[in-house]
Structures are given as C-alpha cells and as structure tokens.
Amino acid sequence: MVPSPTNPQQIQQFLSSVLSQRGPSSVPYDEPTKWLIRTHLINLISSYPSLEPKTATFMHNDGRSVNLLQADGTIPMPFHGVTYNIPVIIWLLESYPRHPPCVYVNPTADMIIKRPHAHVTPSGLVSLPYLQNWVYPSSNLVDLVSELSAAFASDPPLYSRRRPQPPPSPTPPRYDSSLTRPPPSDQSLSRPFPPSPYGGGGRVQVQHVHHQQQSDDAAEVFKKNAINKMVEMVHGDLVSMRRAREAEAEELLSLQAGLKRREEDINRGLKEMVEEKETLEQQLQVISMNTDILDSWVRENQGKTKNLVDLDVDNAFECVDTLSKQMLDCTALDLAIEDAIYSLDKSFQDGVVPFDQYLRNVRLLSREQFFHRATGSKVRAAQMEAQVAAIAGRLHS
C-alpha cells in the first residue's frame, strides 16, 4: 500500500503522479476518466479530511489482483447527540466512475459488525441505494459519503466488543481500617454492555488497519463469501447462456423470414408456370388444328397440279367454301390498299402528288381498308368456329 501525504497540495501532486504513471504499476483507469477521478478524490478529501487517498492491491473474487486507488479513513456518524467515526475503505474499481465504487466497513480489533444489518454484510461490504442507482457522471464520492453517514446514523453498523473481566487479584494483607481506605471499585468493569455503537461516551479513535476483516466467526464469513461467489458464477453463466440463446433465436428468426420470402417467390413462380403451361396447351391445340387442316388440304390437292403446264397464279388457289373465298378477297383487297398507300407515300415524298390530294386519297383508302379488315376478322372467327365444330364431329365419330 502506498499512502499519500495529508497536505492538500501534496495530495493533488500524489494523485497527479499516480494517475499519470505508465507501466505494470500504473492504475488501470480509462484515460478520459482520470481527470474526473482526480476531481472526485480532491473534493472528497476537502469535504472529509479524515479520509486519505492511497493506492493498494485489490483482490477480486476470481483471484485477480490489481493496483487501485482507495479512500481510507473514517466518516462521521451522529448518533444520540454524539458523533462517532466509522472506519471505511472506498475502493475505486477499474470501471470507476462509470460504475460505482466498492465500499467496505473496516472495523478495528475492538469492533464487531452488527448482524444482521440492512446495508452491511458480515464481510463488511456496504450496499446502498445510492450505489445501486449510480449515474455517470453526476454521482460522486462526496454525495456517497453523505449517504453513508445518514444511513449509518439511522442504523449503526459497528459495536464495540465486550471486554473480558480481568482475573481477581490476590487478597491483600489485612490492615487497620482506621489507617487506610478501601480501594475504589472499577466502575468501568462492572458497567453493562452499552447500547451505543462503540460502548463509550466519547469519540473512538481509529487506526489504519489492513483490508481483511477480523471477526469471531471467520468460517461463517468464508462460507457466505463462497456462496456469494458461486451465485455470481452461476448468474454469469446464465447471463452468457441467455445472450447466446437470444443471438441464436435472432438468427433463426432472420432465417425464417428469409425462408418465408423464398416460399412466396416459389409459389408466385409456380403459379406463373402453371398459367404459362395452360397458355401453351391452348396454343398447341390451335397448332394441331391448323396442322390437321393443312394436311387435309394437301391430300385433297396433291394430284391437281400434275397435268398443268401453264399455271395461272390467280387461279392457283381454289376456295372450298364461301367463307374461304370471302376471306381471300378481303385479304387481297387489304394488301392491295396497303400497296397503294405505300405508293402514295412515296409519290408525296418525291413531290409528284400534292399534299391535299395525298390526304384525301389516303383517307379514302384507309376507310376502305378498315372495312375489309373488319370483314376479314369476322370471317376468320366464323372459320374457327366451323373448324372446331368439324374437329369435334370427327372426334365423336
């Protein structure tokens, strides 16, 4: 343990030196918080001069030892009109000031911790609502000591041990009572155990002692510490397991959402494929019908051109019925009008046909072409119905 001087200026120099050290012996605090730690300790020593900043080795429950700052000394506790000094050690852990410090009541050899106590464990560890509700950066050591003093004033954590009675002294030789007076009795030995925290009426002077607590039932304290350590380990394992399970659950939920999206895509694609299949089947039926019609026409007209020497193109096709002849006429007229309109466009571009004459002829030809195309559409529909009826008749026969 490295004590610090008691002079305020020396205390500031001591804290600056400790917090600026580098290497294995340096204190393990974050660089951005070291200035705030120095300010907290200086304000604490200014408000409570009975506390002194020091550096000492702190032993964690898992066996790790680390060099930390501490405030060691006494804090005032008013009780029944008398101010007592409670020895405490305030450890500034590695995570300070983002997390609360660790406070221990440090009884001297003639003191004992009250059991049970609302805020102090048998090992001396202090637990207060101020520590549990620590808020960075507003919480500080001065307010903490003030809360400790108020809590201890309502329920003192320490009592003085009952002093053993000294053995009786040997009987002195008898003397004449007229010559001597009987010795006065020691009232302090016959006085009962006092109800005050220390059993005395004045202030209790506290000396600095080492950190480990001295109590009558060390075995019970060790047992409780071991149980607390096991509970902390189990709690840590449960927290780790819960975090791992939460991460796995999040991953599974994300995977489930992806699978649902893929399922929707597959169902949509399957529906489109079914619709495309139905369309292709309909087109296949139409193609089969047209193939049958062409095959029938080829078989019927295969031998008609063997004896023909001079073939007239206009008479090359012979319509089998009225609808076919009408369809042939409509198609021929439509194509003829299309050629006439193309010739008019070419003539107009070459400047042979005037613009007004071009518009008038195109309008007349387009009107006539419209009627031929409408008639061809109606004839085509009638032919399809006749073909379907013929195929149906062949299938039933």
**Fold topology of 8-160:** Ubiquitin Conjugating Enzyme (3.10.110)
E-state strands within the chain: 51-59, 65-79, 82-92, 102-105, 111-113, 158-160
State the DSSP H helix or E strand holding residue 379, giving kind and residue range, or none if neither. Answer: helix 355-396
Is the pLDDT score of 201 beyond 60?
no
Among 11-20, 266-275, 313-322, 366-375, which stretch is predicted with the lowest mean pLDDT?
313-322
* Cα-based torsion angle of the residue sequence 224, 229, 234, 236 in order, rounded to the nearest 10 degrees: 140
- Give the pLDDT score at 17: 87
Is the pLDDT score of 140 beyond 60?
yes
Report the C-alpha gap between 298 and 295 in whole angstroms: 5
What single DSSP character describes residue 209? -
pLDDT in tens, 379-388: 999 988 888 8
pLDDT in tens, 231-284: 989 988 998 998 899 888 888 988 999 999 999 999 999 999 999 999 999 999
* Cα-based torsion angle of the residue sequence 260, 261, 265, 270 in order, rounded to the nearest 10 degrees: 0
Q: ω before 192 within 30° of 0 (cis)?
A: no
Is the pLDDT score of 390 beyond 90?
no
Mean predicted lDDT score pLDDT of the chain: 81
The share of the chain scoring above pLDDT 70, in percent, equals 80
Kindly report the pTM of this predicted structure. Answer: 0.43
pLDDT in tens, 171-187: 554 444 433 334 443 33
Is the pLDDT score of 354 beyond 60?
yes
Taking the domains of the chain in order of start, what are their residue ranges? 8-160, 319-396
- Give the pLDDT score at 163: 61
pLDDT in tens, 76-117: 999 888 888 999 999 999 999 999 999 999 888 888 888 888
